A and B are shown apart, each in its own frame.
Chain A
């Protein structure tokens, strides 16, 4: 792998009229790396990726993709990049094999069509027209179309949104296979576990900025063992605790309540949402968080301690 990063982004900005979708993003993706942009809907992930793909023009900053400026969509760059969009259909009336053959002809050094069909797990559907494919098969065709040109760099925009668990696992296996082939992958996701499972590095994006960037374990993305327990106490006040050991805490709470002869009304156990992790991160990084509640402090410790 060469020393130059596959993707370099410096102070990237994008405005749609008054709305600033991307407000100064910096990151680098090394060759052969799987890099994830993690964030909620509207965070600016897709805008960032679409600027790198050449679909949108940036309002400011520097961007380099495989040594090219993607603005202007140079063909030399398009020949080396594979793109899987969030949702894009293909011609209804062509078969999987025909579509891949047509796509392969656009690239200087395409992969073998049959091998690509096998790689994408579409062996049984090679002669099926696109309109008769199942949803999962269509997504695999999306991936196959992005791979048939044998790109060095692959963009995957929310590759598993809307998937059932089995389909997600299959998609994860496909991304891991790309990594094993030495491809550089930039993916966006709003699933913590997906970023953790697939990415060498992750940048958490919110409101058009990167909050934090690093290896998934460093970001506390792995803090999925935490649970939030809420109930309404005897005085009617809503109580919240966040813990890494929900069994013990529940035991304490319930036995204490039983001893007092009280009911733990509205008792619930839930996992902290992605949004809460973001809030933790923002308060951590911005040093302007509301703080106060012990639960928040505990949560923050776990996030940064991972």
Chain B
């Protein structure tokens, strides 16, 4: 067990090093959400009501891009290039490997959340979080939910070339209908209904309670439940469809 933890830690450190050496990953997973934050912050400067929507929205977006998008792309690459198969032939325990890999994605999500919170305080007229515990709970639920859905999506993606198309076909509509950039209540009813069934709206609502409105965790339990249901479905799908090898031609 100690040995498995040591290997997980080694894997984590290697993942961190690789992440920063990969400019595409660093841009899409790290800089893009921050770019959105500052662009929308600039557009909505002077309208605190809008800023109050955009800051928790970008916090939710950060969770999705660092976990869902990043893991879906990464798992497809590792599977199709044979890295997973190669690792499968070594003594590396599966848990240690996946632990290191997932921890790296969680680190990115956590760092992004911290940056959004600090930027919200420094530039966008939003104070320190109203409820740090609520932020932690929704952050953790969001990470589990979108990380597992990202891995589950990777199973459905046939090859690496098509991975960005699959990921963005979900990611872009998701962020536009889930109230990341505007108040979801302003959207037409049919979009609102779709968004209500999806986890990001509820994650953003929870983060909004923690960061801005002060709506407490106990009053946001229904939102947490939706994220939790998606997380449960995501974990089942991620584990069930998992493949260490590229599909046979």
Whether B89 and A85, one on each chain, are in contact in the complex, defined by CB atoms closer than 8 angstroms, is yes
Partner of A91 from the list B18, B89, B91, B93 (CB cut-off 8 Å) is B18
Does B114 have its Cβ within 8 Å of any Cβ on chain A? no
Distance, CA A129 to CA B23, complexed state (A): 14
Pairwise interchain contact B89-A78, C-beta atoms closer than 8 A: yes
Bound state CA distance, A105 and B8, in angstroms?
A: 11
Q: A91-B14, A92-B18 are in contact. List 16 more A-B contacts (CB 8 A).
A: A54-B88, A55-B85, A55-B88, A78-B91, A79-B91, A83-B86, A85-B85, A85-B89, A93-B18, A94-B14, A94-B17, A103-B90, A105-B6, A108-B91, A129-B21, A149-B90
- With A105-B10, A106-B91, A149-B91 already in contact, the answer to whether A94 and B18 are too (CB < 8 A) is yes
CB neighbours (8 Å) of A145 from chain B are: 86
* B183 touches A (CB below 8 Å): no
Which residues of chain B (228-246) have a CB below 8 Å from chain A?
245
Report whether over half of chain A's contact residues are helix, strand or loop; otherwise say mixed: loop
- Selected from A75, A78, A87, A93, the residue in CB contact (under 8 A) with B82 is A87
**Of A55, A75, A93, A102, which contacts B91 at CB under 8 A?**
A75
A88 at the interface (CB under 8 A from B): yes
Is residue B31 within 8 Å, beta carbon to beta carbon, of the partner chain? no
**Known A75-B91, A106-B92: A88·B21 in contact at CB below 8 Å:** no
Q: Which of A55, A78, A94 contacts B90 (CB under 8 A)?
A: A78
Q: Is the CB of A105 within 8 A of B7?
A: yes
Q: How far is the CA of A129 from the CA of B81 in the complex (A)?
A: 16
B35 within 8 A of partner (CB):
no
Q: How far is the CB of B22 from chain A (nearest CB, A)?
A: 5
Most chain A CB inside 10 Å of its own CB: which residue of B6, B82, B91: B91
List the A side residues contacting B17 at CB < 8 Å: 93-94, 98
Which residues of A (201-223) have their CB < 8 Å from a CB of B? Answer: none
For the complex, what is the distance from the CA of A85 to the CA of B85, rounded to whole Å? Answer: 9
A133 to chain B: closest CB distance in Å? 14
Residues from chain B with Cβ under 8 Å of A108 in the complex: 91
> How far apart sit A87 and B82, CA to CA, in the bound complex (Å)?
7
A105 to B14, CA, bound (A): 12
Please give the distance in Å from B53's CB to the nearest CB on chain A.
37
Q: Which residues of A contact B93 (CB under 8 A)?
A: 75
Question: What does DSSP make chain B's interface, helix, strand, loop or mixed?
Answer: helix
Q: Please judge, given known A-B contacts A55-B245, A94-B18, whether A102 and B82 are in contact too, CB under 8 Å.
A: no
Q: Does A231 contact B (CB under 8 A)?
A: no
Contacts of A98 in B (CB 8 A): 14, 17
**List of B residues within 8 angstroms of A87 by Cβ:** 82
**B221: CB under 8 A from chain A?**
no
Chain A contact patch, size range: 20 to 34
| Residues of chain A with a CB closer than 8 A to B132's CB | none
Which chain B residues border A280 with CB–CB below 8 Å?
A: none
Beta-carbon contact of A102 and B10 below 8 Å:
yes
Contact A54 B91 (CB under 8 A): no
Provide the A56-87 mask, 1 if CB < 8 A to any CB of B, else 0.
00000000000000000101001101010101
List residues of A (86-136) whose CB comes within 8 Å of B's CBs: 87-94, 98, 102-103, 105-108, 129
The answer to whether the Cβ of B83 comes within 8 Å of any Cβ in the partner chain is yes
**CA separation between A79 and B85, bound complex, in Å?**
16
Q: Chain B: residues with CB nearer than 8 A to chain A?
A: 6-7, 10-11, 14, 17-18, 21-22, 81-83, 85-86, 88-93, 245
Bound Cα distance from A92 to B21, whole angstroms:
9
Q: Are B82 and A85 in contact (CB under 8 A)?
A: yes
| Nearest CB in chain A to that of B96: its residue | A106
**Distance, CA A12 to CA B90, complexed state (A):** 24
In the assembled complex, the Cα of A81 lies from the Cα of B81 at a distance in Å of 22
CA distance A149 to B7 in the complex (A): 15
Query: In the assembly, what is the distance between CA of A90 and CA of B93, in Å?
Result: 18
**Option from A83, A88, A105 in Cβ contact (under 8 Å) with B81:** A88
Q: Which A residues lie within 8 Å of B14 (CB)? A: 91, 94, 98, 102
Residue of B nearest to A107 (CB): B91
Taking the closest CB of chain A, its distance from the CB of B187, in whole angstroms, is 40
Q: Would you call A90 and B86 a contact (CB within 8 A)?
A: yes
Residue in chain B with minimal CB distance to A56: B245
Q: Are the CB atoms of A88 and B82 closer together than 8 Å?
A: yes
Q: Is the CB of A93 within 8 A of B21?
A: yes
* B83 and A54 form a contact (CB under 8 A): no
A150 interface contact, C-beta 8 A: no
Residues of A within 8 A of B10 (CB): 102, 105
- Which B residues are in CB contact (< 8 Å) with A81? 89
B74 to chain A, nearest CB (A): 11
Q: Does A53 contact B (CB under 8 A)?
A: yes
Contacts of A91 in B (CB 8 A): 14, 18, 83
B83 is contacted by which of A90, A105, A129 (Cβ under 8 Å)?
A90
Nearest chain A CB to B97 CB, angstrom units: 10
